[in-house]
Amino acid sequence: MNAVLYEPCVGKVRWKLRAVMAERKITNKALAEAMGRNPVSIAKLKSVDELPGIGGDTLAKLCEAIATLSSRPCMPPDLIEYIPDEDKI
């Protein structure tokens, strides 16, 4: 049996919490209060550009809190962006 070697087409997943919060004028403190979290934990989540290792429950709570604070729906695709690797396209 021969192994097939190939280079997978892998892109990047960008975390857009900082941009979404800025666009909707939501502060760390307001989001933390809405989620029952510490503002420092929100600041840490906001400071990264790559998708953090958070679970589905946390992602759902983020979306719910952002939607409540901004009076506009928020879905996971609003917070996550896939950027394909252009060299592999």
Q: Mind listing the pLDDT tens digit for each residue in 48-57?
A: 988 888 999 9
Buried b or exposed e, range 23-62, using 16+ CB within 10 angstroms: ebebebebbbebbebeeeebeebbeeeebeeeeeeebebb
Report the half-sphere exposure of 5 (CA within 13 A, side-chain side): 0
Token look-up 């600041």 returns 43
Q: Please work out, in degrees rounded to the nearest 5, the angle formed at the alpha carbon of residue 46 by the alpha carbons of 40 and 52.
A: 105
**Domain count along the chain:** 1
Domain-located, residue 2: no
Domain-located, residue 58: yes
Domain-located, residue 52: yes
**pLDDT score, position 2:** 54
Domain-located, residue 77: yes
Domain-located, residue 5: no
**pLDDT score, position 21:** 97
Instruction: Give the CATH number, domain containing residue 72.
Output: 1.10.260.40
Domain-located, residue 32: yes
For residue 70, what are the domain limits? 16-88
Kind and range of the H or E run holding 58: helix 56-70
Average pLDDT for residues 3-28, to the nearest whole number? 82
pLDDT (tens digit, 9 = 90+) per residue, 19-70? 999 999 999 999 999 999 999 999 999 999 888 889 999 999 999 999 999 9
> Rounded to whole angstroms, how far apart are CA atoms 26 and 74?
13
